Amino acid sequence: MTVVQNPVLPGCYPDPSICRVGDDFYLVTSTFEYVPGLPVFRSKDLASWEQIGHVVDRPGQLDYDGIESSGGLYAPTLRHHDGVFWLVCTLVDQQDDSRGGNFLMTATDPAGPWSDPVWLGESGIDPSLFFDDDGRVWVHGTRLVEEPEWFHQTEVWLRELDTETMRLTGPEHVLWTGAVRGAVWAEGPHLYKVDGTYYLLAAEGGTEIHHAISVARAESVTGPYVGNKGNPILTHRHLGRGVDVVGVGHADLVEDHDGGWWAVLLAMRPYGGYHYNLGRETFLVPVTWEDGWPVFAPGQGRVPAQVEVPTRGDATPGIAQGHESGVIRPGDLRWTSLRRMPAELATPSGDGWDLPIRPATLAEPQAPAFLGVRQQHVDVDVRATLRADLAAGEELGVVVRQSEKDHVRLFLAGAPEGADARRFVAVHRRDGVDTVLGEAVLPGDVAEPVTLTVSARGQDYALLVEAPGAEPVTVAVADGRTLDSVATGGFLGLWLGVYATSNGRPTATTAHVERFEYLPVS
């Protein structure tokens, strides 16, 4: 047995879905407006997870143009059947509900390439797939009830999938509206068949403090489904906001090689008050079966800090789990950008990138010149060594990003030709309004390399600038409690990255990211 620490995927890896093929487990999570989209992880022991690719990894697969922060890709489900990996997901445009919808992709190799999306034409979110042992395939998902008894009452629907035409067919069945009357968002549904009985697992209560996991069962896939009298079967909502893990929900079940059962699920770890800057993370929980029902975290009834897993060989948690410190090079799968693939925005160059400056800013739902990674540690230093011959009005810097409306950036400001000093500005954009937190002026050529650092210690985000051969200068300290989704809304944890913009002006300037280091502080 090996002890694995929860969360197994720290940082913003929400809505996990899992399946097993032979000796390997595969897992995907949501990515919203960040691309590449839907990371794919592989493990042999449920303890050591390696990212092997993305489902959405090439231009043209999906159209993200104009999709605002916390829109985009919601709640994928990953399944395997007859040598093919199947994935269903939802593309959400919160400003235009006629755009996007539920879609299906397939691949013979989970690392890719994945097919282009097949649109399913059914409303709602959080679609899932179930392959029955009679050969029939079922799609199910969540949507708002047309004539609700209470605000945000939702229902789980089911329809058959014709795998020849990739179209939904036959009558629709409404399976479930949640275990608790008045609870919102019966979502994240998944169907399973265990010992001849059909089980419907669903979350409810909304993906925050009231999140919970419930289960129902039936003799037929179309129902009727009867809820467990012990519902919800796992939640932390009764523990209050002061507990170490909150918002437990959105689970998916998997059986291991030896007949044991497990659930992956999302939850959050507050710190510095009720704030969870790392976002919704992926946790692992053991599951047993009693009286024909699943029991989550038996003997504890809550998500444990550590889980014993049966391993085959040595467990070696790696890069995706935050067990790596140092330079993040261009080929690293942790790199993401906004609405365009990193390769569309930048060119690898040594340990870093050549980043052509773009007119788009971080305040717009466009594709700015931005490259970033998830914040996975409460205490971490991110150091970026940058250089560019900036024109007046241009910026090159680092950013702590929540959304277009909420982020903190430290940048080198372009200066008039012939300037003999460099001006660095720290700005906090809060609810769409920019406030200057601090400024610093350092001697030197604007085109010389400079190192900008975000130093996070709990909820303090210090912004520092360091010229070659000089001591770092603290320009400002931002309050992280104003940046998480509790304070700002939305569904995301924080990203740390580099950006460049000409603030709407035409430009031919290319910035150079010589090094980008992610350095957790133990």
Residues carrying an active site annotation: 15, 187
Residues of each domain in the chain carrying CATH 2.60.120.200: 326-520
Percent of the chain with pLDDT over 70: 99
Q: Which 3-state string (H, E, C) describes 357-421?
A: CECCCCCCCCCCEEEEEECCCCEEEEEEEEECCCCCCCEEEEEEECCCCCEEEEEEECCCCCCCE
Q: What's the Cα-to-Cα distance from 381 to each of 78, 126, 269, 275, 496, rounded to whole Å?
A: 34, 35, 20, 20, 10
Task: Tell me: pLDDT of 418 over 70.
Answer: no
Q: Of 296, 322, 277, nearest to 5 (Cα)?
A: 322
- pLDDT per residue as tens digits for the range 70-127: 999 999 999 999 999 999 999 999 888 778 899 999 999 999 999 999 999 888 999 9
pLDDT at 312: 64
Cis status, amide bond into 330, omega within 30 of 0: no
Residues of each domain in the chain carrying CATH 2.115.10.20: 2-321
d(C-alpha 185, C-alpha 175), whole Å: 14
Q: Stretch 245-269: mean pLDDT, rounded? A: 97
Q: What's the Cα-to-Cα distance from 293 to each of 18, 215, 254, 387, rounded to whole Å?
A: 20, 8, 15, 59
- pLDDT per residue as tens digits for the range 356-397: 999 999 999 999 999 999 999 999 999 999 999 999 999 999
β-strand partners of 218: 198
CB 371 within 8 A of CB 513: yes
Q: Is the pTM for the entire model greater than 0.95?
A: yes
Structure tokens at 237: 């909502």
CB 14 within 8 A of CB 280: yes
Q: What's the Cα-to-Cα distance from 398 to each of 170, 270, 382, 496, rounded to whole Å?
A: 52, 25, 9, 7
Q: Is the dihedral of CA 13, 41, 56, 124 positive or negative?
A: negative
Q: What's the Cα-to-Cα distance from 244 to each of 193, 307, 508, rounded to whole Å?
A: 34, 16, 49
Please determine, looking at this structure, whether the domain spanning 326-520 carries the CATH number 3.30.1300.10: no
pLDDT at 468: 86
Fold designation for 2-321? Tachylectin-2; Chain A (2.115.10)
Q: What's the Cα-to-Cα distance from 263 to each of 4, 197, 349, 376, 470, rounded to whole Å?
A: 14, 18, 41, 21, 51
Q: In what order do the strands lie in the sheet with 261-268?
A: 246-255, 261-268, 281-290, 293-296
